[in-house]
Amino acid sequence: MGAATPGLSIHRTTESRLESAEVDTAQLDTPALTVDLDVLKKNIRDVQEDCDRIGIALRAHTKTHKTPRIAEMQVRAGARGIVCQKLGEAEAMAAAGLDDILIPYNLVGASKLERLGRLIKAGKTITVAADSEAVVDGLSAMASSMGCTVRVVVEMDCGGHRTGVPTPEGTVDLAERIDSSRGLDFMGVIYYKGSDAPEFIAAVRSLAGKAGLPLHIVGGGGTGAQERSKAAGCTEVRMGSYAYEGMTRVGQDTLSPDRCPLRVIVTVVSVRPGEAIVDAGQKAFTSDPPTPYGLCIEHPEIRLSRMSVEHGILDVSESARQFRVGDVLSIIPLHGGKTTNLYDRMHAVREREVVETWEIAGRGKFQ
């Protein structure tokens, strides 16, 4: 098997815990998603400690890993709570026992509002975002009909130009509407990106103070944004991909097994001059550009240069190794979040042995 990772083994299971039978890596059914526990825990610890040093609360975004077990690790490390981009992800995390969940997304439509109400009535602390009167009025109508109280933050557009209220005056006007709406509690303001954030937030603080509106939450977002968010006047920062990337964003030139814990285990299924073809293509890695699409840990000189739907084509022309059908390789994907969303479970590895298998409960939860 030549390229197989020596000694890596797994325990077969259909649950989050493992049974006793061990299977050698070369026998692992591929493609398979694994995560290095030591690297993962280091990333979580380092970013949490940095936020603690700066004096800003960390709210861990789960949209990257979509895995309750990792969210639990982030909360135990000191995260204030978690973030779920979609309601379906929040339902999955709540079902696993997570609480204090922020959904920084406009929830629109009777079905989603009823589902939100059920989560709140089940005793979960849920905070949602709104950037228009229409969204606020829908939340209020649901809260009134279901007899619950919804915590709401106003999303601001501080220059990111995605969603959000585009002015400080409009932000506080919407906050006043929330504050006066039946069944709603105004909690504060959030934004994602924008160079205008410091001035924008200062103006919102001033206007909100004059209106008698306390800002319990002032939230920024983005991996590596803790310093900028603190300088802009935020009380907390939403970050998620740090679990897979560490302190700063990962690119094709910064993939490293010491920094990136995620690996896709693949098998060579065909060879030809200068190329080896593996059993993992766009459905296993996504086709997120630029190339190469990942780093091979065992042979960093080779490149995952192109993919079809079910095949990955490795450029092995610069390698002295003669690759064979059946070789097993470990590849760090370029976009860990998109890759994770393609799998039902991941295997948590420590010292070349898979010690747990985790359900990726939030995968595919787009609604």
Peptide bond into 289 cis (omega under 30): no
Both ends of the chain: CA-CA distance in Å?
43
Average pLDDT over residues 340-361: 91
CATH of 38-245, one of 2.60.120.260, 3.30.70.1450, 3.30.9.10, 3.20.20.10: 3.20.20.10
Q: What is the pLDDT of residues 102-144, one digit of tens each?
A: 999 999 999 999 999 999 999 999 999 999 999 999 999 999 9
The token pair at 60 is 């861990």
pLDDT over 70 (residue 25) = no
Between strands 217-221 and 184-190, the pairing is parallel
The count of other CB atoms within 10 Å of the CB of residue 161 is 11
Q: How confident is the model at residue 353 (pLDDT cuts 50, 70, 90)?
A: confident
Average pLDDT over residues 320-345: 94
As a whole number of angstroms, the distance between CA 217 and CA 207 comes to 15
Inter-residue contact 288 to 306 (CB < 8 Å): no
Domain ranges of the chain: 9-30+255-333, 38-245
Q: What is the pLDDT of residues 59-105, one digit of tens each?
A: 999 999 999 999 999 999 999 999 999 999 999 999 999 999 999 99
Q: Which amino acid is at 152?
A: V
| Architecture of the domain whose range is 9-30+255-333 | Beta Barrel (2.40)
Q: What is the pLDDT of residues 277-316, one digit of tens each?
A: 999 999 999 876 666 788 999 999 999 999 999 999 999 9
Distances (CA, A) of 231 to 16, 160, 235, 265, 287: 40, 17, 10, 41, 36
Helix (H/G/I), strand (E/B), else coil: 133 = helix
